[in-house]
Structures are given as C-alpha cells and as structure tokens.
Structure 1
Amino acid sequence: MYKKVVIVIGVCLFFVTACTNDNPDTPQKALFFEASIMQIDGDLAIVSSDLGEIVVDLSVNKQTQFEVGDQIKVGYDGEIKESFPAQITTLSVERIE
C-alpha cells in the first residue's frame, strides 16, 4: 500500500512540474509606465511616477541624451524590487515629446 501511495505522489509531482511555463528562451513581455526624471547619475536615473520613485537604467537607449525633467516612457519586466527607491529591470526607455 505504501509503495502505491509513493508512486501516485511521484506521478502527480511529475505532472505538476512538467506543466510549468518557466522557459528562459521565452521573450519577456514588457509593462510600461510614464515618469519624470528627477536625478541622473551616470547611466542610472531616479524617476517619479504613479508607482513612486524608481531607479531606471538609461543605458538601454544609447541613442538618446536624457536630462533631468524629461518625461519618459519606461518598459520593464513587470517586477518591482522592494527597496527605496524601487528598482526594476529596465527593458526600454524613450523620451516622450
């Protein structure tokens, strides 16, 4: 009896783990927010948005020279790390005219 229970649990665990969608080759879908640049330090900027103050990596857009006060649209992976200011994985940044 014990052997059958172990086999059933093992089969259930196999199906649960086999059905996950954690493929690292899947491209990330970006979420977006608009913000105003408050401070720039090298390639990093602290921006103010409806989500609060967030650190944004400006190096993902080498073609644009950003300045304090610019309105920007930021694409990120959807995860906001709980720190102050909050941190994200920046996927895209563009100036809003």
Structure 2
Amino acid sequence: MGFSSGAARRRASAAAAALRAVGRSVAASRVPIRVAMAAALWSEVCPSSLRGLVDGEAALLRRLETSSHVPARLMLTVASWMARASMPPAAADAEEGWAECS
C-alpha cells in the first residue's frame, strides 16, 4: 500500500483489533475471512471513505483490491457494514415513546 513498515504494522494491528471486535457478527453472516480482513484494513487506511472516495483513496483502493484479490465494491460494502456493527445502539431506541404512555 506504500506505507512505511511502522505505519503498516500499526494499521494492520488496528485492523486486526477491529476485526476481533466484530468477529462474531462476521462469522454469523458468513463473510469469508479474506474479505473481512481486507475490509477491516481498508477501514483503518481510509476511515473517511465510507462517505465517498477522495482523489488519492481510489488508487489505494485499487492497490488493496489487487493485493487482496477482493473486489472493491465488496470490500466497501463489508467495511460499511462493519462500521455500523461496531457502533453502539442509538439512544433513541432506548427511550419510551408516546405510544407506551397510558
């Protein structure tokens, strides 16, 4: 991906930690481990890419797609799914609504 060895190790370890955090849901949805690992690495390399690709990120995505043998569209889909799975549930869901009042 073009990173120095120290930066590459830090990002890879952060991606592994993110993958462990959502590991059960990844296994439950039957996402292949290679796809999950590539998506976790992509979310660590470009965390802002879930809103849209910026100029240099497209080249990084193509490079990761080539090295991991995972299609870019699938990688982006799984990365966004993993980002949603790692967020805590919304506080609005825990509040009572008017329909529950007597």
Report the TM-score range of the alignment, normalised by the length of the smaller protein.
under 0.3
TM-score, length basis structure 1: 0.20
**Structure number having the greater helix percentage:** 2
TM value normalised by structure 2: 0.19
Which entry has the higher C-alpha Rg, 1 or 2?
Answer: 1
